[in-house]
Amino acid sequence: MKTFAFFLALPISILANFSLRATADSTAGIILSTKCQGGYNINIWQNYTNGELLYRATSANGNLSLGKGTNQATEGVRVYKFRNGIYEYWVWDGTLDNPQSGTLEVYKNNRLLTQQACTKI
């Protein structure tokens, strides 16, 4: 479990220092808020003016802020995707069986690095 936590913390803590500039303020509204295993809180925002999707992750391991996300519906479930260098963050908005649950997936060089269960808050 410690190794797993380390691998999840590593990309977030490293990337927190090199995150893209993306701001969430009164010009953006929250469209998804989740709490994931490992103590990660993730919020997806959408800019009212230009529609840009913004990603905010907070945890004891550090914070990550990304912009220029995409979203798509896949088999009735919406997935939000954000890229930062060789890492990609996918946030699934629910599952077919349980719309209140979701998943955080972190990819490195297009290979799944970790997957965390999430619950909408």
Count other C-beta atoms under 10 Å from residue 113's C-beta: 15
**Cβ–Cβ < 8 Å for 72, 78:** yes
The domain defined by 2-120 folds into Lipocalin (2.40.128)
Task: List the structure tokens of 110.
Answer: 């297009």
pLDDT per position as a tens digit, 15-48: 444 444 444 457 889 999 999 998 999 999 999 9
**Quick one: pLDDT at residue 74?**
84
68-118 per-position pLDDT tens digit: 999 999 888 999 999 999 999 999 998 888 889 999 999 999 999 999 999
CA distance 3 to 23: 32
Residue with tokens 């979203």: 71
> Over 60: is that where the pLDDT of 7 sits?
no
Q: Which of 34, 36, 1, 55 is nearest to 115 (CA)?
A: 36
> Collapsing DSSP states into helix, strand and coil, what is residue 8?
helix
